[in-house]
Structure 1
Amino acid sequence: MNPLLYPIAGALLGLIIGSFLATIVIRWPLGQSVISGRSRCDNCHRQLRAADLIPVVSYVLRAGKCAQCGAKIVSDHLVIELGAGLIGGLALYASPDVAGVAGAIFGWFLLTLAALDAKCHWLPDRLTLSLAVIGLAAAFFVEEPDLLNRMIGGAGGFLALFLIGWGYRLLRGREGLGGGDPKLLGAIGCWLGWSALPLVLLGAALVGLLAALMLRLRGEGVTADTALPMGSFMAIAAFPLWIVQTMTGGMLL
């Protein structure tokens, strides 16, 4: 089979999965079911047809608006679908095998968590714990990192941020980290292993600085009390590190 077909297939699959991920990000924070009920327009409540649900294509053809009432469709659909497609394509390009499929799953979980944290400052335990369990299970199908490395990464990632958050609260008398952040770093450690954790935090810090700079350029104030989605920053940093780790065939450090 032509090697290019694998990333193309991964991208197409990602677009389809991205449509479901967008539904999770939009509906779950509102307490709505993500698996039951037909998709409808949020404005006129018209039930969407199959032609309205083609990932990316339907959004572009409708110019981002409902075909019936003309209301603007939330851009989360387009962004998450494109993101999921890119993740699927890159994962299968980095490793056109079981490891690549596992990496795509890793990336899709991270995308969902990043979107939820950026939008609602929420990292659901159901997703982070599932990500951790799947990461440990992947050790039986992927050679590197091995299971012990992943287990140390899971425990070390959680404890590192938990202790940092605890120390900050003790010294400053207020929360400095969300309760889901240590769990997410632990879950990432279950995928990348303990050696990648410093790079994940470094990457997250750089992404956070960039986000703060963009807020300042937009005229928004950034102070010590400004809430920034640390989970989103870690997720953004983690997937590129998985690509590098996979393509180099071992630990990052």
Structure 2
Amino acid sequence: MLAPLAFGDIVLLLAAPAVGSFLGTLILRLPAERPVVTARSACPYCGRRLRAIELVPLVSWLASGGRCRSCGTALGLFYPAVELAALAVAVWSVALFPGWLAWASAVLGWILLAAAEIDRRHLLLPDVLVLPLVAAGPVVLYAAAPWQVTPAVLGAVGGFALLTAVAWIYRLVRGREGLGLGDAKLFAAAGAWTTIAGLPSVLLVAAASGLAAAGVSAYRNGGFSGERKMPFGPFLAAGLWLVWSFGPVQSFG
């Protein structure tokens, strides 16, 4: 029999779709350097400002049939998809982590969600999203397991140093960029949250999933292309999220 949810878990789950709505705005506006908080929401096609009743996560989209009430243009699935993804992150966190750690896990997942989608779209991992994760990891681990702080700091330093070195070697050998500095910063965040012991597992998951995605892309496009760029951030984010949730690979199961 399932245990009843704590009040904090219920609040987290109820807040998740609204957070997802904000993440959708962040994903669209941050790379374009548009105001994220101060600018009013509007239809991207006719420009009409949306009323509060039209901004209720998921419900408003369903009520309008996924179309603008003024111009009738289909609004697409982006916002409801992000809102559902944010809710899924919250459900995952509540299922795996007790008390305040569920909130910490959800915030981590939400930031990774936004960073991964921005990188997928623009090959960009914004510092404003990634660097706070580097700082927050040791703080969360200090509160949860104080003995993990030193391994977390070592993980952050080691993660950044490793991918920076890999990027430098790739550039030296191939004469072009292979990994961005944002990837190194995200790997530093992975070390900060999973400690230095978790870095190999994060890299394993990221590399395996990245190779699988590259294989699918090559199949769809008739072969591999050295000119086709693929973001590594989403795969690093997936590796960080899984290792944070379940521990290093040898601990799975």
Tell me the TM-score normalized by structure 1.
0.90
Structure 1, 220-229 or 11-20: larger mean CA deviation? 220-229
Q: Does 1:152 align with 2:125?
A: no
Equivalent AA in structure 2 for residue 63 of structure 1 = G
Distance in 1 between residues matched to 2:205 and 2:138, nearest whole Å: 23
Residues 220 and 56 of structure 1, relative CA distance in 2, 3 Å threshold: farther
Q: Which of 22, 25, 28 matches 1:26?
A: 28
Give the superposition deviation at 1:96.
2.6
Alignment-derived partner of residue 188 in structure 1: 190
Give the superposition deviation at 1:144.
6.8
Equivalent AA in structure 2 for residue 106 of structure 1 = L
Residues 39 and 69 of structure 1, relative CA distance in 2, 3 Å threshold: same
Alignment-derived partner of residue 216 in structure 2: 214
Give the superposition deviation at 1:180.
0.6
Alignment-derived partner of residue 107 in structure 2: 105
- Partner SS, residue 72 of structure 2: coil
Q: Which of 163, 167, 173 matches 2:165?
A: 163
Tell me the TM-score normalized by structure 2.
0.90
Distance in 2 between residues matched to 1:110 and 1:50, nearest whole Å: 27
Distance in 2 between residues matched to 1:11 and 1:214, nearest whole Å: 34
The answer on whether the counterparts of 1:117 and 1:231 sit within 8 Å (CA) in structure 2 is yes
Give the superposition deviation at 1:114.
0.3
Alignment-derived partner of residue 121 in structure 1: 123
The answer on whether the counterparts of 1:136 and 1:151 sit within 8 Å (CA) in structure 2 is yes
Size of the aligned set, in residue pairs, is: 249
Alignment of structure 1 residues 131-142 onto 2, 5 Å: 131-142=133-144
Distance in 1 between residues matched to 2:44 and 2:152, nearest whole Å: 42
Distance in 2 between residues matched to 1:23 and 1:145, nearest whole Å: 38
Equivalent AA in structure 2 for residue 71 of structure 1 = T
Alignment-derived partner of residue 10 in structure 1: 12
Distance in 2 between residues matched to 1:214 and 1:31, nearest whole Å: 32
Give the superposition deviation at 1:43.
0.8
Residues 210 and 66 of structure 1, relative CA distance in 2, 3 Å threshold: farther
Which has the bigger relative contact order, CA under 8 A and spacing at least 6? Answer: 1
The answer on whether the counterparts of 1:149 and 1:194 sit within 8 Å (CA) in structure 2 is yes
Alignment-derived partner of residue 54 in structure 2: 52
| 1:195-226 deviation line (CA, Å, top 9, x unaligned) | 11111111111221232233234336532332
The answer on whether the counterparts of 1:11 and 1:89 sit within 8 Å (CA) in structure 2 is yes
List gaps (5 residues or longer) in structure 1.
none
- Partner SS, residue 35 of structure 2: coil
Structure 1, 168-177 or 66-75: larger mean CA deviation? 66-75
Equivalent AA in structure 1 for residue 194 of structure 2 = L
Q: Which of 130, 133, 137 matches 2:132?
A: 130
- Partner SS, residue 193 of structure 1: helix
